[in-house]
Amino acid sequence: MRNSNEIRFNSSKTIRIMQVSDPQDMKYVRKAMVKMLDEAYDKLKPDLVVFTGDNILGNHLLDARFGSRQIASGKAATLQIMKESIHHICAPLEKRKIPFAMIYGNHDDMNLVSKDEQADIYRSYSMCLPMNTRNGRVDCDTYNIPILGSESGKPVFNLYMMDCAWYDKKEDKCYQAIKPETIEWYRQTSAKLTAENGGNPVPSLLFAHIPLPEITNLIEQCGQNDIGAINTHRRGWCRLRPDIARGSMKEYPSILEEDNGLFDAALECGDVRGIVSGHDHTNCFEGKYKGIEFIQTSCASFRCYGDENRGVRVFDINEFEPENYMTYFFNYADLCGRSAVSKARFFWNADEREKQKFAVIAGTAATVAAGAAGAFLKKK
């Protein structure tokens, strides 16, 4: 574990932050995701990687490689398998000496292991930022990452990392909300950074796994044949508003049940330039509302539902113009290429291709069986 959450701009006066959302896998990890992330680290060369929740498929950790047969039971077994699952996403960064940080999503603690116990697993890696180790009023994954000037050593940019989901084991219920204590923590941290910056808010990005309710202001109802239209069933046909948003929306955003006024607090504090989320596996878009950009990133996971837009997002920030960051999304094909081998790896690892894979296997088996029968009859 690193000693501090602080990160510096590099010698080129820039910093590249990579977001990996919803890697969401288990002990028997899908190789396509590992390959994709390896390619991302080597080609895009991030200075910091942030995992923005659903880092593991916590409620299915004890499943077998195939099917849903439970392969172990009890907390000790869960903890061991969790360590192996987390290792798949942390080890590649440890090997490359790339610092990383994380927050939790709604799937992470749906098991016998607490968030704090999980945090200790992440912290066992030397490249992991320490997260929250001091403030007992907020969760261990609620903290900030100051990005210091390459020479000044003072915060030039800032990342807010916010917990927004927790599983109540007694009630057997997952709560998806920003706690009031978290809002108070944000206000206090923002005020402190502003005061230290001569009264000027420090430009910031805010990461929370589940989208805030205000993200729906980027969406409008539309006709079935309009460009970008999707059938949301309960809300009818909808699309991203072309005047303020860009990208791809494949599902209506699944938003927080309660955010306790986080967006309004961000407007008042004046430091947050963008609010970044994951959670909705097939949504990948950006759009601005009331001066704050909402940034939605699709999943990295092949274990759960998704589409061709599985990938990672990067943020490029210049030390001299930090408020004017640039963001880009790279999907599997961008990173791994479009060769027959790459396409086959995607096909055999993607969960949504199960019916197609079964048809291929069944067809191949039928062909082999027919050939064997023909050979037998010919021999007879």
* Predicted pLDDT at 371: 57
Residue 21 bridge partners (DSSP): none
> How confident is the model over 303-307, as a mean pLDDT?
95
Confidence grade of residue 375 (pLDDT, cut at 50, 70, 90): low
Strand order in the sheet with 237-240: 219-221, 237-240, 230-231
Produce one character per residue of 45-74: b if its CB has 16 or more CB atoms within 10 Å, e if not: ebbbbbbbbbbbbbebbbbeeeeeeeeeee
Residue-range domain boundaries for the chain = 7-349, 352-380
Name the CATH topology of 7-349: Purple Acid Phosphatase; chain A, domain 2 (3.60.21)
Contact 98, 41 (CB under 8 A): yes
pLDDT above 70: residue 222: yes
Determine what percent of the chain is predicted with pLDDT higher than 90: 88
pLDDT above 70: residue 289: yes
The full 3-state SS of 37-79, as one line of letters, equals: HHHHHHHHCCCEEEEECCCECHHHCCECCCCCCECCCCHHHHH
Residue 49 bridge partners (DSSP): 18, 100
* Predicted pLDDT at 370: 52
* Predicted pLDDT at 67: 76
Tell me the per-residue pLDDT of 2-52, one tens digit each, with 9 for 90 and over: 999 999 999 999 999 999 999 999 999 999 999 999 999 999 999 999 999
